[in-house]
Amino acid sequence: MKLSVFYDHILQAKEQSGKSLEELLRGVRAAGIDAVEICLTYLLEHKETLKLLQDADLGISCIYEFFAMESQDETQKLVQLIETAEEVKAGRVLVVPGFVSEEEKKEMQACMKDYEKVAAYIDSNTKVLRMAEGLSFVAKLGMEKGVIVTVEDFDDNKSPLSGMNGIRWFLNRIPELQYTLDMGNFITNGEDVMEAWKLLKDRVVHVHCKDRGEVSVAVGDGYLPIAELVQCLRVTGYDNYFAIEHFDAEEQELCMRKSAVFLRKIGV
């Protein structure tokens, strides 16, 4: 199994420490981290990043991007995502398809605990159906190109993918679509990550290791059952990346090192 980390954390560590990207990337590699998770928009706007990663012997574990499928045609951008992933040999992409309005969020939240009610709500919501259409298109395209397309449990209640039943609807609807397990995001809807794992484990192809505390913390410094989840993944034969995630941590460089040490200690 391999470790990756969000490139945003390295950029923030640069701001916090004053160190160069080159130095920080070497430190990330020395910590036993193999790759980075990176935003499509950033990668396209900063082409020099590929050389920086290559020089540090770091790969790209996943490319992610935000879309507004609920309100516009994102076909061209979706094609660009798959083509870029194919070009840089990133085997996985993560698509955040869009969001509903505040009013729709309230309606969706009211039925979130019941799959049949969630399914009925989604089936009647044209915005979410547009997201499903876009995800179906990109998942099929990814399959043709050898790129696995995933969604995650996104920590914003305006996302129809913020809870386990919403994710289940999309996975049932789109057989080509796969799932990135974010350990720290089910709390957004007050859901238990172990219960979600049992429900969704058959479609997990990527993992975000995010712990939770009063503030953003290193993996292992919070209250979530990270070690138990890692053991569950190992039992099922999962052998892909574990991506370290702690957006807005006050000491990103330290948190990256601590997270890597903890994850290696528990068997990643």
Task: Report which secondary-structure segment, H or E, holds 166.
Answer: helix 164-173
At residue 224, the pLDDT reads 97
User: Are the C-beta atoms of 77 and 65 separated by less than 8 Å?
Assistant: yes
Vertex 24, ends 153 and 230: CA angle to 5°? 35
What pLDDT digit, counting tens, does each position of 117-164 carry? 999 999 999 999 999 999 999 999 999 999 999 999 999 999 999 999
| Nearest alpha carbon to residue 253 among 1, 33, 52 | 33
What pLDDT sits at residue 188? 87
| pLDDT confidence of residue 154 | 97
Residue 87 has pLDDT above 90, yes or no: yes
Measure the CA dihedral 68/72/75/80, to 10°.
Answer: -50
| 133-146 residue pLDDT tens | 999 999 999 999 99
pLDDT surpassing 90 at residue 110: yes
Of the pLDDT bands very low, low, confident and very high (cuts 50, 70, 90), residue 217 is very high
- Identify the helix (H) or strand (E) that includes residue 128: helix 126-145
Mean pLDDT of 92-100: 98
> In the predicted model, is pLDDT for residue 102 greater than 90?
yes
Let me know if 88 is exposed, middle or buried by CB neighbors in 10 A (0-12, 13-18, 19+): middle
Query: What percentage of the chain carries pLDDT values higher than 90?
Result: 99
C-alpha 187, offset from chain centre: 15
Which domains, and CATH codes, for the chain? 2-265 (3.20.20.150)
Sequence-ordered list of residues with C-beta below 8 angstroms from that of 207, at least 6 positions apart, any chain: 180, 181, 182, 183, 233, 238, 240, 241, 242, 243
Residue by residue, DSSP assigns 7-47 as: HHHHHHHHHHH---HHHHHHHHHHTT--EEEEEHHHHHH-T
